[in-house]
Amino acid sequence: MEKQFDSIKWILPNFITEGCSLLVGRPKIGKSWLVLQVAMAVSCGGITLDSQCEAGDVLYCALEDNERRLQDRLRRLLNAGAKMDASRLTFLTEMPRIDKGAIGTLKEWVTQVNNPSLIIIDCLANVRSPAATKQSAYDNDYAALAEFRNFANKYNIADVVVHHDRKFNADDPFDTVSGTLGLNGAADTVIVIKKEGNGAILHAKGRDIPSVEKAIESKSTNGEVMWHMLGDAMKLRINEQRQIILDALTKEPQTPQQIAKATKMKIPNVQKLLQRMYEDGFIAKEGYGQYHLKAGWQ
For 235-278, write each residue's pLDDT tens digit: 777 777 888 888 888 778 899 999 999 999 999 989 988 988 88
Tell whether the model's pLDDT for residue 298 goes beyond 70.
no
Higher pLDDT, 217 or 239: 217
pLDDT at 297: 52
**Contact in structure between 192 and 173 (CB atoms under 8 Å):** yes
Q: What is the CATH number of domain 249-293?
A: 1.10.10.10
The structural domains of the chain, with segments of one domain joined by +, span 10-233, 249-293
What CA–CA distance (Å, rounded) separates 70 from 93? 9
Does residue 210 surpass a pLDDT of 80? yes
The single-letter code of the amino acid at 164 is H
Q: Tell me what the pLDDT averaged over the chain comes to.
A: 91
Q: Is-contact 152 19, C-beta < 8 A?
A: yes
Per residue in 20-37, pLDDT (tens digit) is: 999 999 998 999 999 999
Whether residue 208 is predicted with pLDDT greater than 60 in this model: the reply is yes
Return d(Cα 89, Cα 91) in angstroms, integer.
7
Reported as a pLDDT band with limits 50, 70 and 90, residue 219 is confident
For domain 10-233, the CATH architecture is 3-Layer(aba) Sandwich (3.40)
